[in-house]
Amino acid sequence: MNSTKNNGIEFLEFINVTEEEIFNYPPLAGSFAVIKCEGKYLMCYNVWREQWELPAGSREDGETPKECARRELYEETGQIVTDLKFKGLLKSKKLNGEIKFNPVYFTNMEKLQPFKENEETSKIMLWDLREEIGSIDSVDIRILDFI
């Protein structure tokens, strides 16, 4: 049976804005990369949180939100993409009440590239949103409602 974990983050809303408008929503946090392939969504298993997640992570110095999404996708899943499209902002709240905004990017792929296990991700899979896969990040599952 699938279950969700919130890891101290609460989904508030998905905001439809243009990519140019995202800097009007501070604090701008790390980016998500949502990939659809063969009608399913790419998920990666985070060994630290012991759950399935969308590829995502924090921005590094000087990195744009799109560059962050592309890098995190590669680091966590081995996938290289060039045509990520901005879909909107995830607005969420941390346990301490702090609000944050995460840019969400999307693309379709015809075929996945090879995956190499790394310190954060032990495996990847394409998920149809119905298959029983175990524990899933509760915020990530809500993002998929808007893609």
- Alpha carbons 118 and 108: distance in angstroms, whole number: 24
Query: Would you state the pLDDT for residue 6?
Result: 86
Confidence of residue 2 (pLDDT cuts 50, 70, 90): confident
Query: Would you state the pLDDT for residue 1?
Result: 78
Q: Do residues 123 and 38 lie in contact, with contact meaning Cβ atoms separated by under 8 Å?
A: no
pTM across the whole model: 0.95
Q: What is the mean pLDDT of the chain?
A: 96
SS3 sequence, the chain? Answer: CCEEECCCEEEEEEECCCHHHHHHCCCECCEEEEEEECCEEEEEEECCCCEEECCEECCCCCCCHHHHHHHHHHHHHCCCCCCCEEEEEEEEEECCCCEEEEEEEEEEECCCCCCCCCCCEEEEEEECCCCCCCEEEHHHHHHCCCC
Q: Render pLDDT for 82-118 as a digit per residue (tens, 0 to 9).
A: 899 999 999 999 999 999 999 999 999 999 999 989 9
Query: Would you state the pLDDT for residue 129?
Result: 95
Q: Do residues 43 and 133 lie in contact, with contact meaning Cβ atoms separated by under 8 Å?
A: yes
- In the chain, what are the domain boundaries? 3-143
Q: Do residues 64 and 56 lie in contact, with contact meaning Cβ atoms separated by under 8 Å?
A: no
Q: Please report, rounded to a whole number, the percentage of residues in the chain having pLDDT higher than 90.
A: 92
- Alpha carbons 105 and 65: distance in angstroms, whole number: 9
Domain 3-143 belongs to what topology?
Answer: Nucleoside Triphosphate Pyrophosphohydrolase (3.90.79)
Q: Render pLDDT for 42-75 as a digit per residue (tens, 0 to 9).
A: 999 999 999 999 999 999 999 999 999 999 999 9
